[in-house]
A and B are shown apart, each in its own frame.
Chain A
């Protein structure tokens, strides 16, 4: 049973370009979360999605960031017009359909560097 798969592992973008990060949840998991980790800091929650629905995007910056989890295919975190401050590790996590208390499993992360 493959774990949470993220790609690309490393991405370099010039300021103003777009970055797309992909996440395939574990088999049987229908809940996806995105987190951001700035250098020397803990992870910060960004968004929680189920298939075709954004459930909670309270941690997403208001501009330039968007996320989707379509009926078919991976979840995508999209960052438009990247700036240097977007350089960070972006982690995706997944969990089974929500029951009381479930382990959340993390992918290996995507490291975005904006030059």
Chain B
């Protein structure tokens, strides 16, 4: 099946810093989503982005489908951005999303 690798696995930043999270995938995809799992375990949709670039406030994402990677940018980090960021993809004939292991982000005040 398709493989998803996220980097870095852990990231500790000060409030106000910017960050870039990366997601590499091993095959063509027809669905790519970024999620934020907050410290209470809730899974929040950030972007549906199988290709192209999208922005939502301080967050933006870019997927270069031909090179099989996606980037999530977080600008002016806030403590509420802390949590785990997951990239998940679906490709070929698969029915379910395949998740990466996530990037654990801690924003310190």
Contacts and interface: CB of A to CB of B under 8 A. Distances in A.
B35 to A, nearest CB: 7
A33 B35 contact: no
B20 interface: no
A46 B42 CA distance: 19
Interface stretch (A13-21, A67-75, A76-84, A103-111): A103-111
Interface residues of A, number: 26
Interface residues of B, number: 20
A56 interface: yes
B30 A105 contact: no
A42 B31 contact: no
B43 A109 contact: yes
A89 B42 CA distance: 10
Contacts of A111: 41
A104 B89 CA distance: 11
Given A59-B96, A103-B33, 8 more contacts: A35-B99, A43-B43, A45-B98, A56-B96, A93-B97, A101-B30, A101-B48, A106-B45
Interface string B36-51: 0000011101001010
B101 interface: yes
30 contacts: A33-B95, A33-B97, A35-B96, A35-B97, A41-B101, A42-B86, A42-B99, A42-B101, A42-B102, A43-B86, A43-B88, A43-B97, A45-B96, A45-B97, A45-B98, A46-B96, A48-B96, A55-B95, A89-B41, A101-B30, A101-B48, A102-B31, A103-B48, A104-B31, A104-B33, A105-B45, A106-B35, A106-B45, A108-B42, A109-B42
Nearest to B40: A108
B45 A103 contact: yes
Nearest to A109: B41
A100 interface: yes
A58 B33 CA distance: 21
Contact of B95 (A41, A56, A108): A56
